Amino acid sequence: AQKITQTQPGMFVQEKEAVTLDCTYDTSDPSYGLFWYKQPSSGEMIFLIYQGSYDQQNATEGRYSLNFQKARKSANLVISASQLGDSAMYFCAIRGTSYGKLTFGQGTILTVHP
Amino acid sequence: SQTIHQWPATLVQPVGSPLSLECTVEGTSNPNLYWYRQAAGRGLQLLFYSVGIGQISSEVPQNLSASRPQDRQFILSSKKLLLSDSGFYLCAWSLTSRPYNKQFFGPGTRLTVL
């Protein structure tokens, strides 16, 4: 079984500052992928970033980076230079070897203040 | 490029009425297909997944069923809706079941059962 824990129901950040969204996971699969999705108020799920369990380097995609600490089973999302458009719900998810299904956390609502 | 469509976008149905939600993917062949449900303010829960035509696996026992009549078509159905079926339904696809394959989501259907 796989599990994702996001302990921050809500986070606030000032525009142009960096913010870290926490994610811890649990899995028995030897190979797995960790994903972050953004869900704005429209409801669409937007893929942000991916980290493979065997990747040596932390993933980066523009202003998004994933702080992957395998020993601690954490995969925190770092958003640099926050923008007002970053205000949304953010989900961490894990994908193992069982038919590729994603297991999601409960999400963190990020609010960016001007 | 690949695109995923869902319809309808919103639906209001009375308790006991039937349901049919459709999802189609363009630009790829033999994708893995997934149906998720999201309750208000919560994470996503996997309902069904399919690795090929006519192959459906259910994650949780429920009032819903799924079918895959064509390679890139995935349908979610119910014979009699319950109040608890209300939620946001998202269809997703990925190339394979490998952990590193990204999963892309459709725009979703917001279902309200009254």
The pLDDT tens digits of the residues spanning A72-112 come to 999 999 999 999 999 999 999 998 877 778 899 999 999 99
> Does residue A36 sit at the B interface (CB-CB below 8 Å)?
no
- Say if the Cβ atoms of B98 and A101 lie within 8 Å: no
Q: B42 falls in which pLDDT band (50, 70, 90)? A: confident
- Say if the Cβ atoms of A99 and B42 lie within 8 Å: no
Per-residue DSSP letter, A22: -
Return left, alpha or beta for A85; rule: phi > 0 is left, psi -120 to 50 is alpha, else beta: alpha
Q: A84 by DSSP, 3-state: which?
A: helix
CB A6 within 8 A of CB A104: no
Please tell me the predicted confidence (pLDDT) of residue B62.
77
Task: Check pLDDT > 80 for residue A56.
Answer: yes
Mean pLDDT value across residues A34-46: 94
Q: How many contacts does A have with B, using Cβ atoms within 8 A?
A: 76
What are the beta bridge partners of residue A90?
A38, A108
Q: B2 falls in which pLDDT band (50, 70, 90)? A: confident
Q: B41 falls in which pLDDT band (50, 70, 90)? A: confident
> Does residue B58 sit at the A interface (CB-CB below 8 Å)?
no
> Which of chain B's residues have a Cβ under 8 Å away from the Cβ of A53?
99
- Distance, CA of B99 to CA of A52 (rounded, Å): 8
Chain B residue with CA closest to A107: the answer is: B43
Average pLDDT value over all residues in chain B: 92
CA B9 to chain centre: 12
> Residue A99 is nearest to which of B88, B97, B107, comparing CB atoms?
B97
Please tell me the predicted confidence (pLDDT) of residue A68.
95
CB A20 within 8 A of CB A76: yes
Sign of CA dihedral B87, B75, B102, B46: positive
Structure tokens at A83: 């923008």
- Distance, CA of A74 to CA of A23 (rounded, Å): 6
- Say if the Cβ atoms of B97 and A100 lie within 8 Å: yes
What pLDDT digit, counting tens, does each position of A2-25 carry? 899 999 999 999 999 999 999 999
What pLDDT digit, counting tens, does each position of B69-86 carry? 999 999 999 999 999 999
Please tell me the predicted confidence (pLDDT) of residue B99.
64
Q: B21 falls in which pLDDT band (50, 70, 90)? A: very high
Maximum average pLDDT range among A76-80, B44-48, B59-63: A76-80
